[in-house]
């Protein structure tokens, strides 16, 4: 494996980095720092201050992205367009951790009665004749 010289990386470098709004993951942060995700992970393991700076930086990025999304959706809602409320409801549900999934829980035994005489049986395959 070919490796180059280590890029300097400390907590201050991470926290002072001016990141684009879309940079929300460790992978995209590594790219902005000019290193692979594996290298960033290794540096985080080696230096607790770098790990904490990465964690705080990504949390701040996510918070800024949520604020931006909230502002955009709020402006959209005020526009009166018919899909505005749907967008706002979806955003608020996802932001608050709600889900439209329904989970059914069955407590106790389930009684199932199968009357085999009512189940249609398939016809057996017809044998091919020698005449073809």
pLDDT in tens, 27-67: 989 988 888 999 999 999 999 999 999 999 999 888 888 88
Tokens of 104: 């059914």
Question: Does some domain include residue 2?
Answer: no
What is the domain extent for residue 56? 11-98
Scored b (16 or more CB within 10 A) or e, 99-114 reads eeeeeeeeeeeeeeee
**What is the pLDDT, as a whole number, of residue 119?**
72
Please state the domain count of the chain. 1
Question: Does some domain include residue 93?
Answer: yes
Report d(CA 80, CA 74) in Å as an integer: 11
Q: What is the pLDDT of residues 6-22, one digit of tens each?
A: 677 888 888 787 887 77
Question: Does some domain include residue 46?
Answer: yes
Question: Does some domain include residue 27?
Answer: yes
Question: Does some domain include residue 128?
Answer: no
Cβ neighbourhood burial of 14 (10 Å; 0-12, 13-18, 19+) = buried
pLDDT of 1 above 50: no
pLDDT of 5 above 70: no
Question: Does some domain include residue 132?
Answer: no
Question: Does some domain include residue 76?
Answer: yes
- What lies within 8 Å, CB to CB, of 36 at 6+ separation is 30
Q: What is the pLDDT of residues 88-117, one digit of tens each?
A: 777 778 777 777 777 777 788 878 777 777
Tokens of 113: 């009665």
Question: Does some domain include residue 91?
Answer: yes
């Amino acid at each position: 494996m070919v490796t180059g010289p280590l890029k300097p990386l400390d907590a201050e470098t991470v926290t002072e980095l001016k990141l684009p709004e879309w940079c929300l993951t460790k992978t995209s942060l590594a790219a902005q720092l000019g290193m692979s995700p594996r290298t960033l992970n290794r540096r985080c393991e080696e230096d607790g201050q770098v790990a904490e700076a990465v964690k705080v930086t990504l949390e701040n990025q996510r918070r800024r992205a949520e604020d931006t999304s909230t502002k955009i959706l709020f402006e959209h809602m005020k526009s009166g367009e018919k899909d505005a409320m749907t967008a706002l409801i979806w955003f608020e549900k996802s932001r608050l951790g709600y889900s439209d999934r329904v989970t059914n829980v069955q407590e106790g035994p389930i009684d199932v009665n199968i009357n085999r005489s009512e189940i249609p049986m398939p016809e057996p395959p017809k044998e091919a004749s020698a005449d073809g």
